[in-house]
Structure 1
């Protein structure tokens, strides 16, 4: 498990579509180590008992309006206290002009001052989403991540069992590769686990006997994807007579990764099985279950109906048998009475 240490302000400018008012030459050297964004409202009043210096400082209409009512000396003093060496950058929203005092204090510390046409809420959301993804705690998992019918499926199993070969067959059938051999996963929110490939392995697939192939070069840009939500784990296990595998579809397990439970199914591997088609079927069945249709429930319902029909037939047959026995008894009793009369 590891944590991405930092993101540069240049990365933030590019991905959050920000403008640069000052400090373009400092964008690459300024780093961001936290996804939290600060709205320095109390600081403008002189309250610095708790000032998160390592956060991006976002100024909106409220902060800029308040600063216009301050004297030049007061505002310059506040801005000099806010412009600390650890502060990554200042961002001014809603296409507002940054105060001259902010630019003066930022120049002293070589801090970039950025801007955006978007409202404060929108630019805050854009920056937070990007930084949450980049700075999230990550875990490296052994497996192959593929996009099958829009579902992110993590294929796991022992080394040499055929994970990469199965992924290659899926790519040939029109699905997309995200990562081979090593998958980096991180939690995007309370219910979403995202998976991506390390930069060094992106778009590459290792096939034993052939070596490393570039999937994007051989199959085109439509055969790869940078990241996807991990919706299902399919574990490939060697088939043995002693091993017990789910046959009805009601034995799905969950794997707990970070704070997210990911469904897991186990598929036995033996000669002659087409794993790519099986994984496609598993993906479609999982999607059907997510939409409320469960084939196992249908089978159980059909079985219960059959048991009820058979029970009714048995009762009917029993009644007919009893009626026949009573009829035979009446005939025997009638013959016995006729014999006694004679």
Structure 2
């Protein structure tokens, strides 16, 4: 099912004034794009995107004032289509009577804001993109380690929450435990946050549920974070070959984005928090162009070539 935002959500978020059409506040907004109907005011409706929020600013309304009485009625009647979610007036400009008449006939809300047109358009677009972005929920723990978003995954009981607690004690920040809501807000950008019900909470077996912000302070939590790396914890398997150099970067796909995957085998004596810290720092170094594994391989190749030349 397609995601929806109600017009009433827009009114509440930006403190807008409802001029008319209150009965339509539950109309759904299904796209994040907006439309400034300048061409429509001139009478060109061939490619009118009626499903978008319509924004009328000073330019559109100033041109509207130059039209004849018949043209004004025609433009506003054609602007208010059945699928139009709402019409927004900016800068607290006067609302034309023709617009209210046409909107009330179709039960389309006409809302007004005091903000400038460009500023309000940017705010509304950001809000709608966030709310309408593709999303999913993943079982795991999301932490911010040195500014790198680390999603710790693995089977139940393997130690994800305990590792997150150790990371918090070492000065890093918790975003979500157990369930991580993930939104793809842009191409290759995944943002994770905790469901409102379990925000700032961490479940530790044997202790119970703790509130990280209450115990460690506001600096120990974040509301959301970009997901850069997935650290998958799995029970150590003696016969499995684990990556010891890190030359081949493994990835996994979430929604439409490939995310770096690091598999960490779990066995007694391994400090998982320290390993995850190093994984975060190593990821940052790689993005800065420094790859320790590649440098080691290059040096090894040079050494072998030199020895081969000496033999010859």
TM-score range, shorter chain: 0.7 to 0.9
Structure 2 counterpart of 1:72:
69
Name which of structure 1's ranges 209-218 and 71-80 shifts more when overlaid on structure 2: 71-80
- In the superposition, the TM-score normalised over structure 2's length comes to 0.88
What does residue range 185-196 of structure 1 map to in structure 2 within 5 Å?
185-196=182-193
1:172, 1:106 → 2: CA distance?
57
Unmatched runs of 5 consecutive residues or more in structure 2: none
Structure 2 counterpart of 1:241:
238
Matched, 1:134 2:104: no
- CA distances 1:41-72 after superposition (whole Å, capped 9, x unpaired): 34334455665444211123432232111123
> Is the Cα contact below 8 Å between 1:138 and 1:184 reproduced in 2?
yes
Structure 1 counterpart of 2:110:
112
What does residue range 140-219 of structure 1 map to in structure 2 within 5 Å?
140-219=137-216
1:83, 1:202 → 2: CA distance?
41
Residue 253 of structure 2 aligns to a residue whose secondary structure is strand
1:289 equivalent among 286, 291, 305: 286
Q: CA deviation at 1:32?
A: 2.5
Q: CA deviation at 1:14?
A: 5.2
2:22, 2:215 → 1: CA distance?
40
What does residue range 316-327 of structure 1 map to in structure 2 within 5 Å?
none
Q: CA deviation at 1:6?
A: 2.6
2:197, 2:21 → 1: CA distance?
29
Larger radius of gyration: 1
1:175, 1:149 → 2: CA distance?
7
Q: CA deviation at 1:248?
A: 0.6
1:26, 1:151 → 2: CA distance?
46
Q: CA deviation at 1:232?
A: 0.7
Change over 3 Å in CA distance of 1:24–1:103 after alignment to 2: closer
Report which of the two has the higher share of helix: 1
Matched, 1:254 2:251: yes
2:25, 2:159 → 1: CA distance?
43
The CA RMSD over aligned residues, in Å, is: 2.7
1:38 equivalent among 24, 35, 38: 35
Unmatched runs of 5 consecutive residues or more in structure 1: 319-342
Residue 88 of structure 2 aligns to a residue whose secondary structure is strand
Change over 3 Å in CA distance of 1:62–1:296 after alignment to 2: same
Structure 1 counterpart of 2:226:
229
Matched, 1:125 2:122: yes
Change over 3 Å in CA distance of 1:164–1:27 after alignment to 2: farther
